[in-house]
Amino acid sequence: MLSNNRLWTAAERGHVRPLNRALIILALVESVEGLGFAILLTLMVML
């Protein structure tokens, strides 16, 4: 996403919605990854 030049050039021209959407999706994916890791650790401790 960070190396996608089309998103950045579109944002420079005033079309920021695709870039904002990509950043939100990236944040959601990363938060789910962290949540999954915490759940995995909890399950390992409980078992």
Would the pTM count as exceeding 0.75?
no
Q: What does pLDDT average to in each consecutive run of 10 residues of the chain (47 residues)?
A: 86 93 92 92 94
Helices (H) then strands (E): counts for the chain: 2, 0
Q: What is the crossing angle of helices 5-12 and 17-46, to 10°?
A: 130
Number of domains in the chain: 1
Question: What is the pLDDT, as a whole number, of residue 37?
Answer: 93
Query: What's the helix, strand, coil split of the chain in %, to 5?
Result: 80, 0, 20
Distance CA 17, CA 10 (A): 9
Question: What is the pLDDT, as a whole number, of residue 3?
Answer: 84
Question: What is the pLDDT, as a whole number, of residue 25?
Answer: 93
